Amino acid sequence: MKNVTIKDILECTGGTLLMGDADMKVEHLSTDSREIGESTLFVPIVGANINGHDYVEKALMAGAIATLTAEEEVFDYWLDNHAGDERAFILVNNTTEAIQRIGKMARLKLTVPAVGITGSVGKTTTREMVAAALSAEKKVYKTDKNYNNWLGVPLTLSEMTDDDDIAVLELGLNVRGELGLISSLTNIETAVITNIGVAHIEFYGTQDEICKEKFTVTNGFFDENPQEKRLFLCGNDPYLMKHKDECKYPVTIYGSLDNAEYRAVNIHPENGKYCFDLYIRGVKRLSACLSVLGEHNVLNAVAALAVADHYGVDLDKAVEKLAQFTGFKNRLQRYEYNGALIIDDTYNASPASMKAGLDVLCTMEYKDNNGRRIAVLGDMFELGANAPQYHYEVGVYAASKKFDELILIGENAMEIKRALVEANSMKNVYAFADTQAITEALRKELKDGDIVYLKASNAMKLHSVTEGLING
């Protein structure tokens, strides 16, 4: 944060200065007492299992120049044990609400334009691709790690500066109202919605309700000059198309269907990666090849090019930048183990992304293509009461694909097996109780030329299988 003082913090949070200098400048926020930098304000967050107020003393001793507190006794303790050390203490009603207000205040001090990225599947990859395309001609600030929620977004906003030409902000959704809330902090002028899946459907009931929630990303379109805002929607998604006319802002459609203003045509694989021609308003503009795996990433690339074109970036240069993007850890990352290829896609999972991953497995070319293709799949979480059915549908899809073996872990994953059995699939199917057993089995059975694809929700810890193979 630049040009932010304790006084600014007091004004935006409605807090009370219990001690300290109101004119002192604050440059950074931290909610982790282990990560205290120069001129840092510590914000103790109260969670389900941890109360950040227990770490206020540690944060201040580590060098924080100030702290928020919603518990006045924390201040009393400091006075009793650190007499004469007058670090700033700001009393607020709720530290979570306070950090969100600080994030919004910090954002409003800046003029840098920003793009919001949301969607049920692929928003992090799309964030990276949009940032890559824009970086061809602009200095880009982007969301770090997975800071896309009610806490991460304020932290992200607090680190933005006007030294950048544009910002790309990932905006997530876990529970009702969260996306609209965090969007309202951002002052974005454009946004991308990648798709509407069934992730978090246990909180919403239907995909139509999820779609309506996703459209609250426009809460970040502050009221001035509404016609200068723009929402980029994937035309391949039926729910986005069904509800697009409910948006009061200008809309641009991207995708691979006839309805797309920015359209990928002639999509074809080359060694598991995909190439395509980009048509803009019916006219061929360029050809592109990606370095990331998966046909689904073509749509993410088209979104990135559409955004880059909107901001006046030379598209030929943008395509060069996209070709350099190779993804990141646990998202379709390639490793080799004793002559076999491991494709680690274990960061998270939904029915749509698991089906897309099976497509990657089946189209991947490796060595002479004489090895086996093996899928290792585990439970997908946050699918609500219909979770078994969603896993069964993945099984139906898997039964139609050409691969050799299926390894499963998790209770709901057994529904994938049931679908294959009912389809009389000739694939070999094995179930394991834990990841260690899977690792040991693969160590014994993998042969030169085999391809293994791993996918499950992050909590299933399938990434440990990859780590066990390549590090063990």
Average pLDDT rounded to a whole number, residues 21-46 = 96
Rounded-to-integer distance, Cα 6 and Cα 36, Å = 17
Q: pLDDT at position 327, please?
A: 85
**pTM for the predicted model, two decimal places:** 0.86
Report whether pLDDT(205) > 90. no
CATH superfamily, region 333-471: Mur ligase, C-terminal domain (3.90.190.20)
At 122 the pLDDT is 87
Q: To the nearest whole number, what is the mean pLDDT of the chain?
A: 94
H, E, C per residue of 401-465: CCCCEEEEECCCCHHHHHHHHHCCCCCEEEEECCHHHHHHHHHHHCCCCCEEEEECCHHHCCHHH
Q: b/e string for 326-362 if b means 16 or more Cβ within 10 A? A: ebeebbbbeeebeebbbbbbbbbbbbbbbbbbbbbbb
CA–CA separation, 321 vs 244, rounded Å?
30
pLDDT value at residue 245: 93
Q: What is the pLDDT of residues 52-90, one digit of tens each?
A: 999 999 999 999 999 999 999 999 999 999 988 889 999
Strands 273-280 and 283-293: antiparallel
pLDDT (tens digit per residue) in 293-335: 888 899 999 999 999 999 999 999 999 999 999 888 888 899 9
Q: Say if CB 192 and CB 118 are below 8 A apart.
A: yes
Please state at what angle helix 463-471 crosses helix 435-445, rounded to 10 degrees. 40
Distance CA 12, CA 101 (A): 6
Give the rounded distance of the alpha carbon of 152 from its chain centre.
Answer: 11
Q: Can you tell me which residue has the tokens 């009370």?
A: 16
What does each C-alpha distance from 362 to 106, 276, 365, 424, 462 come to in angstroms?
47, 19, 9, 19, 20
pLDDT per residue over 39-52, tens digit each?
999 999 999 899 99
Q: What does the pLDDT look like over 414-460, one tens digit per residue?
A: 999 999 999 999 899 999 999 999 999 999 999 999 999 999 999 99
Helix (H, G, I), strand (E, B) or coil at 16: strand
Model confidence at 343: pLDDT above 90: yes
How many Å apart are CA 411 and CA 415, to the nearest integer?
8
Classify domain 6-94 at the CATH topology level.
3.40.1390
Model confidence band, residue 197 (pLDDT cutoffs 50, 70, 90): confident
Mean pLDDT throughout 176-183? 94
Amino acid symbol at 22:
A
Q: For residue 272, name the pLDDT band (cuts at 50, 70, 90).
A: low
Residue 373 pairs with which residues in a beta bridge?
Answer: 451
What does the pLDDT read at residue 86?
86
**How distant, in Å, are the alpha carbons of 13, 147, 420, 435, 438 from that of 345?**
41, 20, 22, 15, 16
Residue 378 has pLDDT above 80, yes or no: yes
> Domain-by-domain residue ranges, the chain?
6-94, 110-324, 333-471
Q: What percent of the chain has pLDDT over 70?
A: 99
Q: Which CATH fold topology does 110-324 show?
A: UDP-N-acetylmuramoyl-L-alanine:D-glutamate ligase (3.40.1190)
**For residue 33, is pLDDT > 80?**
yes
With 70 as the cut, is the pLDDT of residue 181 above it?
A: yes
CA distance 404 to 374: 6
